Amino acid sequence: MKKNYQTVAYYPGCALEGTGHAYNASTRAVGKALGLALDEVRDWNCCGAMEVKNIDPKVQTYLSSRVMAIAANEMKAKVVMAPCNGCYHNLKKAEHDLAHDVVSRETVERISKKAGHETYRAGSLETIHALDWIKHGVGEEELKRRLKGSLKGLRVANYYGCMYTRPRHIFPEKDQGGQSESTSQPHFMDDLLAAAGAVNVDFPLKTACCGGAHTLSDSDTSTRLVLNLLRAAEAAGAEVIATECPTCHSGLELHQVRAEKVLGEKTTVKMLYFTQLLGVALGVSPRRLSIHENVSDGIALLKEKSIA
Amino acid sequence: MRETLLRKAEEILEEWVRARGEQPRDERVETFRLLALHRQGARGTPSFNACRETCREIAYHYNVLGFEQEESARRHREQMLAMLVEHLRLFVQGKMEVEGLGEFCCASRPVRQGSAEEEMTDA
């Protein structure tokens, strides 16, 4: 286990204070149940999301670097954890840019000076996802030891989305064999949920595009892509799609509703954050995990399976 | 069935390559023309890599189907293969309608452009 994952700087990002509130609540609750500590990054800002990156990637690099500057320079943290795929991706991208691109370094230096804070230096901080945090901060054996319940019999399709593994070159720690994550066949969520008793189904679209970034500008494409993901999960035998990103999660939930309304195509698979599922198995109440905030009502299913 | 579905997947990528003003090549990557077509279609368009794993899953399911003996397992595998091909179709159709699909999310295009330029300079 990695000792420096026991207490990490926590960067929830904007989505976890809005549509992904349940992910924030369940991440904090699971951390507490597992004895892991979170120290929220002070005065954090938006990572630049997809919008800023599209218009001016250097400004996105700066925005993400400011978050890392606060964590590394002011909080003296060694590790920052971002549960949102978008934030995680952007911090990784900024790290890559600052390590490899002189113009990015100069831009960040200039804006940081203007903003009146110390510049972030590449290599000062390790950015991890919530999956890394639990997988390497606790591990499956310790997780099993702390279980108060089980996800036994719950058939789960694990959906990682795209930004957790792409583009590959900004995740140099992945694809290293052994205990490292895979970019083509990610498995950390599968491993953790299996340790909690879930049955992971063979889901071949675990990193497939859901049209997420175009959910407002081209809703029909997104709805059709999501509908196919939901159908494939059901065909694979899943009762639940486990998510690890607020954008993926709300995209799947809302397009499930839209597919029924606009296309007349009903699917019944439920969406739950992996932290909500782990939390239930760790004996945390569904209320504290904010399962009631999900659009897709998973509580009835969990009760029916005697899991919650 | 697996041959038909693999051919459909190739046709989808052929359409994408033609829409870019190129001729689909008759090359193979790891014995699959599908993977070679994907590589051709993604050249200069990193966001097209958003369907790379889907193509690889199609190749994987095609291979496994060649060994699947049990009838119900075979039918299930064919169903999953069909859904993978459908996902590829939806993604490519989406890209043809809105070229930017995937452009500024997982493709992180500006980063990739930088890397590509560096590689070209090194070469």
The whole-angstrom distance between B114's CA and the closest CA on chain A is: 8
Whether the predicted pLDDT of B118 surpasses 50: no
* Residue A143: both structure tokens together: 């997780």
Q: A224–B83: do the CB atoms touch at under 8 Å?
A: no
Angle at B118 between CA B112 and CA B123, to 5 degrees: 125
A65 plus A203 within the same structural domain: no
Last residue of a domain, one of A94, A129, A164: A129
Q: What percent of chain A has pLDDT over 90?
A: 88
A167 plus A279 within the same structural domain: yes
d(CA A122, CA A104) in angstroms, rounded, equals 11
Nearest to A192 by CA among A289, A278, A84, A90: A278
Give the domain CATH number at A78. Answer: 1.20.1050.140
Q: Which of B83, B97, B108 sits opposite A221 (nearest CB)?
A: B97
Of A179-183, B8-12, B22-26, B47-51, the least confident? B47-51
Residues in chain A within 8 Å Cβ distance of B104: 50, 53-54, 213
A98 plus A169 within the same structural domain: no
Q: What percent of chain B has pLDDT over 70?
A: 80
Q: pLDDT value at position B100?
A: 66
Residue A226, φ and ψ in degrees, nearest 5: -65, -45
Residues in chain A within 8 Å Cβ distance of B103: 54, 213
pTM score: 0.93
Q: B46–A167: do the CB atoms touch at under 8 Å?
A: yes
Q: pLDDT value at position B103?
A: 67
Residue A261 and residue A225 in contact, taking contact as beta carbons nearer than 8 Å: no
Q: A204–B93: do the CB atoms touch at under 8 Å?
A: no
A159 plus A123 within the same structural domain: no
Q: Does B77 touch chain A (CB under 8 A)?
A: no
Tell whether A140 is covered by a domain: no
CA distances from A88 to A67, A163, A297, B55 (A): 12, 8, 27, 26
Q: pLDDT value at position B119?
A: 41
The whole-angstrom distance between A204's CA and the closest CA on chain B is: 6
Q: pLDDT value at position A117?
A: 96
Q: A225–B106: do the CB atoms touch at under 8 Å?
A: no
Residue A219: pLDDT band (50, 70, 90) is confident
Tell whether A26 is covered by a domain: yes
Last residue of a domain, one of A72, A101, A129: A129
Tell whether A135 is covered by a domain: no
Residues in chain B within 8 Å Cβ distance of A184: 53, 56
CA distances from B120 to A101, A168, B112, B117 (A): 15, 19, 12, 5
Residue A128 and residue A138 in contact, taking contact as beta carbons nearer than 8 Å: no
A123 plus A74 within the same structural domain: yes
H helices present in chain A, as ranges:
21-33, 49-55, 57-69, 85-100, 102-115, 130-137, 139-146, 188-195, 219-235, 246-258, 274-281, 299-304
Whether the predicted pLDDT of B101 surpasses 50: yes
Residue A292's CB is within 10 A of a number of other CB atoms, namely: 11
CA distances from A159 to A37, A203, A233 (A): 26, 8, 9
Q: pLDDT value at position A101?
A: 94
CA Rg, chain B, in Å?
16
Sheet holding A79-81, edge to edge: A37-40, A7-10, A79-81, A126-128
- pLDDT tens for A68-119 read 999 999 999 999 999 999 999 999 999 999 999 999 999 999 999 999 999 9
ipTM (interface pTM): 0.90
Q: Count residue pairs from A and B with Cβ separation < 8 A.
A: 116
* Residue A30: both structure tokens together: 């699971």
Tell whether A288 is covered by a domain: yes
d(CA A254, CA A298) in angstroms, rounded, equals 15
Q: pLDDT value at position B112?
A: 45
A289 plus A158 within the same structural domain: yes
Tell whether A223 is covered by a domain: yes
Angle at A148 between CA A147 and CA A149, to 5 degrees: 95
Q: Which domain holds residue A249?
A: 148-304
Residue B69: pLDDT band (50, 70, 90) is confident
A116 plus A186 within the same structural domain: no
Structural domain count, chain A: 2
Q: B105–A212: do the CB atoms touch at under 8 Å?
A: yes
Tell whether A176 is covered by a domain: yes
d(CA A90, CA A166) in angstroms, rounded, equals 11
A111 plus A237 within the same structural domain: no
**Which residue's entry shows tokens 């607020």?**
A246
d(CA A17, CA B103) in angstroms, rounded, equals 26
- pLDDT tens for A140-183 read 999 999 999 999 999 999 999 989 999 899 999 999 998 899 99
A160 plus A258 within the same structural domain: yes
Q: B106–A163: do the CB atoms touch at under 8 Å?
A: yes
Last residue of a domain, one of A129, A157, A188: A129
Residue A215: pLDDT band (50, 70, 90) is low
H helices present in chain B, as ranges:
2-19, 33-42, 52-65, 71-97, 109-122
Whether the predicted pLDDT of B117 surpasses 60: no
Tell whether A139 is covered by a domain: no
A195 plus A91 within the same structural domain: no
Return the residue in B61, B76, B106 with the most chain A beta carbons within 10 A, the one to mutate for interface testing: B106
Give the domain CATH number at A230. Answer: 3.40.50.11810
Q: B57–A96: do the CB atoms touch at under 8 Å?
A: no
Residues in chain B within 8 Å Cβ distance of A48: none
**CA quadruple A243, A244, A248, A250: dihedral, nearest 10:** 70
A163 plus A276 within the same structural domain: yes
CA distances from A49 to A54, A184, A267, A270, B13 (A): 9, 23, 30, 27, 30
Query: Could you give the count of Cα atoms lying within 13 Å of B29 in the half-sphere of its Cβ?
Result: 13
Residue A308: pLDDT band (50, 70, 90) is confident
A84 plus A190 within the same structural domain: no
Tell whether A136 is covered by a domain: no
